[in-house]
Structure 1
Amino acid sequence: MRGIGWIRERTTYARALLALTALAVALPGAASDGYGNRALAASEIAEPPPASIREGSYGAFMAQHSDVSRPNAEIVLQADKYAEAKGMQTRILNDYEGQPGASLWTDEEGSVTWNVDVSSTGLYNLQLLYYPIEGKSAGIERRVLIDGKLPYLEADSIIFSRIWGNESEGTKRDPRGNDIRARQVEKPRWLTADALDSQGYYPEPLSFYLTAGSHSLTFESLREPMLIRQLKLFRYEQPRTYDEVAQTNEAEGWKPAQGGIVFKTQGEAASAKSDPTLYPLNDRTSPASEPYDVSKIRMNMIGGNNWRLPGQWIEWEVEAPEDGLYRIAFKSRQNALRGMYATRKLTIDGAVPFKEAEQLQFMFKRSWRMFEAGEEKEPYLFRLSKGTHTIRLQVSLGDIAPLIRQVENSVLELNNVYRQIVKITGTAPDVNRDYHLDRQIPRLQERLREQSEVLEYVGRTLERLTGERSDRVAPLYKSMYQLEDLAKRPETIQKRLVAFRDNMGALGTWILTVREQPLDIDYLLLAGADAKLPKAEASGLKKMGHEIGAFFYSFFEDYNSIGSTTDSGKRATVWIGSGRDQAQVIKQMIDDSFTPQTGIEIDLKLVNMGVLLPATLAGQGPDVAMNVGAETPVNFAMRGAAQDLTVFPDYEETTKRFYDSALVPFRYRNKLYALPETQTFAMLFYRKDVLAEMGLEVPQSWNDLFSLIPELQKHNMQFAFPLEQDFARMPSMPPNTTFMSMLLQAGGRLYADDGKGVELDSEASMQSFKRWVEFYTSYKLPLIFDFPNRFRTGEMPIGIADYSLYNHLSVSAPELRGLWGFAPIPGTPTEGGVIRRDEPGGGSAVLMLQTAKNKDNGWAFMKWWTDTETQVRFGREMEGLMGAAARYPTANVEALAELPWPVKDLRNLQEQWKWVQGVPEVPGSYFTGRHLDNAFRKSVAENTNARETLYDYIQFINDEIATKRREFKLPE
């Protein structure tokens, strides 16, 4: 029978469900949307609880300085009059790009400091006049220090955007008649920008507190160079309201413009953008889209999911035929945020025309609609003089910003509570034991109750803002009721610890989804006051015709083809298995770079690389295969199916692009059978906040790590080593990374006698294997875990993982910004004081088949593809297309340095990369990793003698290698 505790829990859940149902009933004074959803009355919304303000944040800073005045003064600093530059190369450029006077060129690392004399104590805003000089195509990132100190967390990373645009006007088409997406290139110009919060949580310019007297203002470079003309400390003025602006316009004699639609521009014809991701897109859902074709691909919109992050902006140029007050309308579609709205800030010629334009709300609707600011009352009229003007829409979090900030702070606090609980109970507590957590953890119940109130405040406010209840508030209310109940019944925490952790993860996901606000734009209109706007959607008859036509042409049009339709004498067939986005980028690069340079046409095909071997055996394979696994080239070479690249006269020059470690897996019998595309290796990831809280340092050696692990385990935390379960997410990581690192650092090696057998019976190997096993037998490290999630909660505040985890955390864990880092892996000290950090590397390759019809053409493609310029462009375009999560792990040494890594992180990567060693592929090598893992798991699971177990499995490995060598007629 189930006990009283179970009944009590079920009763609590029932009460929570009833409460959720009750909240859906409209309250007095609340509005309804007609679907049972209602907006909360203002009287229902309490002030946010003070516990939701994060210590050291800008919110805490402003609360501390809430009574400080804002002097009405401007202090202009000429950039070339700096006081000091540390670790930075600087240059003075005069009259650069039409900007009179001297400007200061600052490098992507180091810092530059200016002296500031302040006459009045108060809060000042900061503005920069700068030029986004050529760099690595990433946003320009700086840390701002006042008198050598960081004033608040948000000043740790301030982003200044670059300017992007279509490479050429007009639209190019491929041989099939489909539009080719315009390539995005930088179009720099002088820009004036305020110092803003990079996360978009504070829409107004950041304020800095300065007392009367002398101060220093420091810009520390984190990423990308920039040219600075001047810095200005000033007082930011709130825009006036629309009614105030309208009264001024009337007093000054401005009249509403007459006539119909006076100007129209297509969304995809944007004059400038903040990101290369904001390229033209294709929409085939409506015959009313402009331009339109029933069967061909037309680039007829812009935005979409690429235009979703705070701070991203798109500009269009419009032409006003005469002075007047105009209506501005957008044919738009916001079909991604049900129960929410997408917010945009509108500026004209760089200025906000009135307060309401800071938060234009595009409500959810599945189809296209004509949007006008102020349309609920009457359309706003915008003052435009005769001539050309620039209209910008910028992603803004608007009223949602403080709510996201509240939840992010709450997640951090709950993570802290969770870690304190785990320190006492462990991650798998005894559910029948009362740990008296309310006595052992200070203010536990109060803290849980405070965060429950925070989430309730956010959920209710969100309902009031959107006017409806949606699935967007479900994670908030679910966590709210759980926290409230845990505060009432702390003795049940150990029973519900997993649910508590899962709800924290759901809140983290909520932050990610809510701060993303996609929007589609088809075209923009400038219209007179009495103009009749066109309908956004086509008639039912036209829609029917569109669907019938699209169905008919689907039998003839091949929308999935990437290759060329022309037939040239100089050509090569290339297969790629990475993905459609990658294939489309490569095809575009081939068309505008490789083919014009060489005259060779490439028939690029997107295939599943699992069919490469059967197709090759059937004589239907390609000339070149891209993105193949590290084991494939030598496996093909053993069977005479791969082309030896050493026959080409310039192969040695070509291989200088890579570290030798990247080439090792593709060598067989002194010949080379592939060129590396990517190379990956492990780095040490760590939580700065958790280690600092525990007084621990980042381990430099294995001995340091052996000392660190017990300290972590005292608090029921763990260290993470890469194990097999990670390979589904990171298939390029070599197996047994921990053991291989120890072996290589001890001077051991995997194979002996040119691959005739393994050298795992050496003393270095035995000691390394024993130490590896001890991590899991003596220190009880877990074999199965989800490192990214446990890293976020702090259960595993440090661990070794493939360096691509950096991209994952940068995008998916915004609440941890500034709280984590990565460094080279622990190593083995030598007598000379150097720490050896050897480790195995993994990656992918580009392979030429032995059956290639024109090997010179294939070799020309392979050289072009692995060239520095090509790899840099591909890496930047992929990051532009898919964001920072798609940062490319190129094997080209020079290319990696040109990708948009923050300087400090790049230095760490480069330091570790020098120690990476390649893992050779030999006949039967697939048995090596498999039986090493078998020996390891048997030693751990059955607690057998590690040395004897490894000896047993060495025989299996050597037998298989011998069998394979006989099969391929190799000397044994």
Structure 2
Amino acid sequence: MSTMNIKKIWIVGVMLALVIFQHPNPAIHAQDDKDKSKGNTVVEGAASILESKYSSYIKEHRGKSYQGNDIVLDKPENWVTDTSLLTSNDEKAALRIKQNDEANITIQAPETASYLIGLQYSTEGDNILPTQLEMKVNGQFPFYELRNLIFESRWEVPNETLKDKYGNEIVPQPNKVKEWQEKFISDASYRSSEPFYIELQKGDNEITFRTIEGNILIQSIILASVDELSGYPEGKVVGNEFIVIEGENSTYKNDSSIRASSLYNIDLTPYSAGKRVMNYLDSDSFKKPGHKVEYEFEIEKSGYYYMGMIYRQNVKIDFPVFVNLAIDGDIPFKQYKNYPFDYTPEFTHTTIHDPEKDVDIPIYLEAGKHTISLTISLDHIKSTIEKVEQLTKEIQTLSLELTKLTGPSIDRNRDIDVEKYIPGITKQLQTWTDEMSDLYEGVKKYNPNVAEIGAFSSLNIAEKQLKSLSKNVDKLIVRKNELSTGTNSITAHLGNLLQEIINNGLAVDKLYFYQDAEDVPEKKGFMKKQLAKVERLSKSFGEQDYAIDNVNPDHLQVWVNRPRQYIEIMQQLIDEQFTPSTGIQVDISLMPDENKLILSNASGDAPDVAVGVNYALPFEIAIRGALQDLTEFDDFDEVKKRFPEGLHVPATVKNGIYALPDTMNFWVLFYRKDILDSLGLPVPDTLEQVKSYLPELQRKGMNFFYPTAGMAGLKTFASTMPIIYQNGGNFYGDTIGRTALNEEESIEGMRQLTELFTIYNMPFEVPSFYQQFRDTSLPIGISDYFMYNLILNAAPEIANTWDIALMPGIENEDGEIERWSAGGAESNVIFEDSAKKEESWEFLKWWSSTDVQIAFGNNLQTTYGKEYIWNTANIEAFEGLPWVTNHKNVILEQTEWVTEVPRVPGSYMLEREISNAYNSIVLDGANFRTAIDLASKRINRETFRKLEEFGFMKNGETIEPYPNPEFTNE
């Protein structure tokens, strides 16, 4: 090369360096001048492209609310636009809206005003899930919350006692009640127990309902005004009547999972020192806002009564749980609305009390049958929740602006005048600090007797942390991770707070109505409690239920790696179905530790069957000769078809298969429908489309989540494998002797993976995709079953505003989009030393069959709630389980692309070194090829060592080639 050319290159390099280092980050200066002049207006984020929340809407429309008598529109033929949607039910016409259908109705309002709109409805079919609707008024969503409305079913608790094989009471399955119910349009998240005021124009108004999940029948529509509650009457309580209601014996509930439970506590009734008896309403099930439980009781003599309760509220430290108390379906007076049940770690007697007058509240009850219901409410902290969410969004947006300013890494040796680039930042930090302080002071009024509210400690921590940052803004650049990165960041503390304050667990031992305080039961004395503890201790030394040492050696021994709730349902199905049809007696035991299965086999203590072990574990046991090769059973090939073929890869050892999949994970695209619709972006089908969306998302203060960002240390195969496989790559050749990581297709996959972060600026560390998906800073990303369960059940405020789609893939030469993803979860195995291999195989065939998996999943979810969605690996059974229908279809289609990286000698090093290479390239800026080559050398070295250990190599020479079980659809 000539000296002249060298000089030119050197000059160009210097000029580029000057351009780069003249400003903190060239990316921010690529923005238009108008963007720079906006300062921190990006704090608005997604809020500017969505409808306003109801809290904003009502400020404008509450002025004129309807004050007339209720208007009941009970003839659907008069207001249904499409009469083909009418059906006859109970000899009366009703509007039927099936899933994914919509119906337009026309209702006439007597005047322009805000109305409460109620429906007389019935949910159709046996679906466990509540019916979901969205509602438009005159073609628009007046406010955001109308995108998701919930209409629950009513569940009846059977009046029977069920026991397991050990004589312990177990939770009975509730029955869905088919009846007409009345409900006014209200917040699906139940942050407010008040129905919505919705403005209607005088004359005809078009209401559009669309069913998202389930089918619904609507018989009547009601336009109403609110009835203001008055105070309680000044009645005199006389007499000696005492009516007790056991908390565990509820009559109805609006969620099938609200249930009784058992405690060994002598103060609770009934009580047994040796057996589990249901003796209180479980606070782990009665905890969500809107949860309602109802009891029937009878009054023999009309008169005034006091209402008392024995309860425990040990969830919200130093802060009450609020409950709406209703008699015969109505809240009788304002003191029964949002009644506070104070924090108490032990079961405590209380009488419904008026703190202003410091008197117990009397209520008049006529002789006869009545109902009392308890509904959990968030009315008093609704505004606090919304403010915390707003602060979280704004702080995350500021964090994004700082990252744009400095880049992802922190240079502690550079000083940047932050105020110059983000005008007003100092004032903004101080404002946020003041707002947090005001929030904390606002909630202290509900318990002024304590210095600090334990339930809001996360808010206190966040405020102090923010105050520290606001005092020295110049250090904000080096401390920017304290805003929204990591588990100790301000937004992480605010996210924790949101989770804590919507958990309202309330345990109920008894409710009672009484007239004479002498009749109220007292707690047991100290000596009785001590004697009860001694008795309980002595009973605990006996045989333990579902323990591995409490079995009949003649029975089939099955160890299950799941909680007791699952085992009780399994045992019930076995006793009702498997044993009567096969004659095989089964003892189910709680697995003490799945990692000790290898040791159990070596000591001769292994079971016949193990259920629910981690999908990677069978290889570790089988390679040591301790598991039965299932391919030796004649009908294995038929049973194998029940599952996605790729799920058999981890259990393949040489030419055998040593486990059946039990459950499966799935990785799909999560996206906010409201955000993509507002931006005019279709759901991305390929990774290239995702990349093309990033500039638009990032301009709005948003981004895309890729799974490696949610893994703080090791990046597992589930996050690194998909793009490699989608590019046609593999990890091994025909045998596993050398890794194929440094071959062309695999290298291209790794390059595309790392460039998502080094070039396209996806966030490389995300403490909580769940939280940022909710607040729209990450409105789209790839995640799995656990995220799905969390969003579905712990984010009711965004229900029906999000959806899932197939994982964005890479188009191959034939024009097909490859969407390979992981799916391994849990597996079932038979041990080689079992003397009952045929019986064990019969059990696994029965347990994995379609009918049994559907029955188990239905029983589990009905009894314990929507969070217990059963992710069976049996594809046909999965189709029959109560998942959201549209989501189920996406998941089933994605399973066609499910596979796993093979578990072979040394594969743990493959996973570790791919992760190390990723971290070196993305976080440390290492040379791409150098990192891959180094990883390949380390993988090969460890593979050779493990092949020698297991006898496939000796002194570097191959004795027996170890075949590669990697699976593709080619």
TM-score normalised by the shorter chain: which range applies?
0.7 to 0.9
Paired residues of 2:737 and 2:940 also in contact (CA < 8 A):
no
The one-letter amino acid of 1:825's match is M
For 2:661, the equivalent position in structure 1 comes to: 676
Provide the TM-score with structure 2 as the length reference. Answer: 0.82
Matched residue, 1:546: 532
Closer/same/farther in 2, CA of residues 654 and 691 from structure 1, 3 Å limit: same
Deviation at 1:775, TM superposition (A): 4.5
Quick one: which of 55, 59, 82 aligns to 1:59? 55
| Matching residue of 2:375 | 394
Report the Cα offset of residue 155 of structure 1.
Answer: 1.4
Deviation track 1:818-847 (CA, whole Å, cap 9, x = no partner) reads 776543322122466543222343222111
Q: 2:784 aligns with which of 796, 802, 815?
A: 802
1:197-243 residue CA offsets vs partner (Å, 9 max, x unmatched): 12222221112111113222122222233333333232232233223
Give the partner amino acid of 2:609: V
- Asked if residue 621 in structure 1 is aligned to residue 606 in structure 2, the reply is yes
Partner of 2:246: 266
Measured against aligned partners, the alpha-carbon deviations of 1:7-56 in whole angstroms (never above 9, x if no partner) come to xxxxxxxxxxxxxxxxxxxxxxxxxxxxxxxxxxxxxxxxxxxxx99970
What is the alpha-carbon distance in structure 2 between the residues aligned to residue 409 and residue 475 of structure 1? Answer: 16
Give the gaps of 5 or more residues in structure 2. Answer: 1-46, 963-970
Q: Which of the residues 173, 185, 188 maps onto 1:198? A: 188
- Corresponding residue for 1:332? 311
Is residue 508 from structure 1 mapped to residue 495 from structure 2 by the alignment? yes
Q: Distance in 2 between matches of 1:566 and 1:769?
A: 51
Are positions 1:349 and 2:323 aligned together?
no
**1:131-169 per-position Cα deviation (integer Å, ceiling 9, x unaligned):** 233344122222222123212112122222223344x42
- 714-723 or 225-234, which moves further after superposition? 714-723
Are residues 532 and 401 of structure 1, via their aligned partners in 2, closer, same or farther at CA, if it must alter by over 3 Å?
Answer: farther
Q: Distance in 2 between matches of 1:717 and 1:625?
A: 45
1:221 equivalent to 2:211? Answer yes
Contact 1:182–1:280 (8 Å) recurs in 2: no
Give the distance between the partners of 2:699 and 2:305, measured in 1 at CA.
68
| Contact 2:67–2:225 (8 Å) recurs in 1 | yes
Structure 2 CA distance, aligned partners of 1:55 and 1:421?
A: 28
**Secondary structure of the corresponding residue to residue 304 of structure 1:** coil
Helix, strand or coil: the match of 1:310? coil
What aligned pairs does 1:561-960 form with structure 2 within 5 A after superposition?
561=546, 567=552, 571-606=555-590, 607-668=592-653, 671-686=656-671, 699-708=684-693, 720-723=705-708, 726=711, 735=717, 737-738=719-720, 740-753=721-734, 763-775=744-756, 786=767, 788=769, 791=772, 798-810=780-792, 822-830=804-812, 833-876=815-858, 886-922=868-904, 925-933=907-915, 942-943=926-927, 945=929, 952=937, 955-956=940-941, 959=944
Match of residue 390, structure 2, among 385, 391, 409: 409
Moved more, 793-802 or 650-659: 793-802
Q: Within the alignment, does 1:235 sit opposite 2:232 as a pair? A: no
Letter in 1 for 2:87: I
The question of whether the paired residues in 2 share the 8 Å contact of 1:757 and 1:962 is answered with: no
Task: Please tell me the residue identity of whatever aligns with 2:443.
Answer: L
Partner of 1:278: 258
TM-fit CA distance, 1:109: 2.5
Determine whether 1:521 maps to 2:503: no
Of stretches 231-240 and 143-152 in structure 1, the one that deviates more from structure 2 is 231-240
SS in 2 for 1:846: strand
Q: 1:289 corresponds to which residue?
A: 268
Of 525, 541, 565 in structure 2, the residue corresponding to residue 555 of structure 1 is 541
Question: Which one of the candidate residues 494, 506, 516 is aligned to 2:477?
Answer: 494
Identical amino acids, percent of aligned pairs:
27
Please tell me whether residue 69 in structure 1 is matched to residue 59 in structure 2.
Answer: no
Quote the offset at 1:311 in angstroms. 0.5
Q: CA deviation at 1:395?
A: 0.8
User: Does the CA contact (< 8 Å) of 2:397 and 2:777 recur in 1?
Assistant: no
Cα distance in 1 for partners of 2:642, 2:712 equals 27
Q: C-alpha deviations, 1:872-931, integer Å up to 9, x for none?
A: 454455556766555443212234344444444334333322222344445554454345
Are 1:678 and 1:891, in contact at CA under 8 Å, matched by a contact in 2?
yes
Q: 1:227 to 1:710 in 2, by over 3 A?
A: closer
Q: For the residues of structure 2 that align with 1:891 and 1:445, how far apart are their CA atoms? A: 54
Give per-residue Cα distances to partners, 1:313-348, cap 9 Å, x unaligned. Answer: 111110122443333322222233332112111112
- Following superposition, the deviation at residue 374 of structure 1 comes to 2.5
In structure 2, relative to structure 1, the CA distance for the partners of 1:838 and 1:78 (3 Å cut) is farther
Taking a change above 3 Å as real, the CA distance of residues 630 and 484 of structure 1, as seen in their structure-2 partners, is closer
Cα distance change on mapping 1:860 and 1:371 into 2, 3 Å: farther
Cα distance 1:692–1:437, how it changes in 2: closer, same or farther (>3 A)? farther
Q: Is the 8 A contact 1:176 1:565 kept in 2?
A: no
Selected match of 2:404 from 418, 423, 426: 423
CA contact (8 A) 2:319 2:454 kept: no
Contact 1:804 1:889 in 2 (8 A): no
Cα distance between partner residues in 1 of 2:383 and 2:819: 44
Residues 71-470 of structure 1: matches in 2 within 5 Å?
71-72=67-68, 73-76=70-73, 78=75, 83=80, 92-95=87-90, 100-166=91-157, 168-243=158-233, 258-261=239-242, 263-285=243-265, 287-374=266-353, 377-426=358-407, 428-430=409-411, 435-438=416-419, 440-441=421-422, 444=425, 447-468=428-449, 469=451, 470=453
Structure 2: how far apart are the matches of 1:192 and 1:101? 16
**Equivalent residue for 1:13?**
none
Structure 2 CA distance for partners of 1:393 and 1:597, relative to 1, 3 Å: farther
Once the two structures are superposed, residues 604-640 of structure 1 have per-residue CA deviations (whole angstroms, 9 ceiling, x without a partner) of 2222111111222332211111122333334544444
506-515 or 864-873, larger mean C-alpha shift? 864-873
Query: What's the Cα RMSD here?
Result: 3.9
In 1: Cα distance, 2:718 partner to 2:334 partner: 59
Instruction: Summarize the Cα distance change of 1:84–1:901 in structure 2 as closer, same or farther, 3 Å threshold.
Output: farther
Distance 1:422 1:939 in 2: 19
**Is the 1:369–1:536 Cα contact (8 Å) retained in structure 2?**
no
**Are 2:905 and 2:943, in contact at CA under 8 Å, matched by a contact in 1?**
no
Q: CA distance change for structure 1 residues 74 and 649 in 2, over 3 Å: closer, same or farther?
A: farther
Distance 1:609 1:85, change over 3 A: farther
The answer on whether the counterparts of 1:85 and 1:111 sit within 8 Å (CA) in structure 2 is: no
Task: Give secondary structure in 2 for the equivalent of 1:408.
Answer: helix
Deviation at 1:312, TM superposition (A): 0.5
**Residues 720-776 of structure 1: CA deviation (Å, up to 9, x unaligned):** 5434983989xxx961643x3234333444444476765556543343344345456
SS of residue in 2 equivalent to 1:368: strand
Secondary structure of 1:465's aligned partner: coil
Summarize the Cα distance change of 1:586–1:853 in structure 2 as closer, same or farther, 3 Å threshold.
same
What TM-score results when the alignment is normalised by the length of structure 1?
Answer: 0.82
- Tell me the distance in 1 between the aligned counterparts of 2:583 and 2:75: 51
- How far apart, in 2, do the equivalents of 1:798 and 1:664 lie? 30
Cα distance, 1:57 vs structure 2: 0.5
